[in-house]
Structure 1
């Protein structure tokens, strides 16, 4: 079966990349708006936003990266995405501020990269 760029798994990978980018923007916006301007702290720093984001990352990652391994046999995207999710989870435990933002941004960067590697690995087959 040939690669179909509009496949469900491909769409999940693209959605994972988009969600990772939105998460990074949220982190930077949170630091700027709350730290510098003192605005939006209750909404931007809500633990629920971070917990939901992590849950989405786990679901999208498990499905699309897991299926990617089955399809193209490469473990690198799954391992990279798993490392990113671990960093994102650690960010939940360090409290708000620069350490949380750095862990989260590094984590979502790894997750986005994993989805990109997964798309490329799928296209190679």
Structure 2
């Protein structure tokens, strides 16, 4: 891989970590604002936000973690990221509630971890 492609993959890995963090903040803020204060349910709990987030996570994850695994040969980022994405898909499928929150939080933490592992293995 050329240096330009490696740099792009590294930037996308960092973007994946940021995207996972934003998803986590969205989930926790949604639980707090809707559950505790009763505010923002229409916007924060809109199912399309979760579907779009999952699609973004799949695209960024496949392009960075998948290509990273092909380049450096380590399968741990791929296994951790794939499991995280599966948990996020499960969260979209179960609908709103505590199961969705738990699956989403576990999933985004795993995907973010996979991006970090991928960045460290790709050096």
Q: Report the TM range for the smaller structure's normalisation.
A: over 0.9
| Alpha-carbon distance in structure 1 between the residues aligned to 2:2 and 2:51 | 36
> Where do 1:104-115 residues align within 5 Å?
104-115=104-115
TM-score norm. by structure 1 comes to 0.92
Higher share in helix: 2
Gaps of 5+ in 2: none
Contact kept? 1:31, 1:97, Cα under 8 Å: no
Ranges of 4+ aligned residues in structure 1 off by more than 2 Å: 1-4
Task: Return 20-29 or 93-102, whichever deviates more.
Answer: 93-102
Q: Secondary structure at the match of 1:96?
A: coil
CA RMSD of aligned residues (A): 1.6
TM-score norm. by structure 2 comes to 0.94
Gaps of 5+ in 1: none
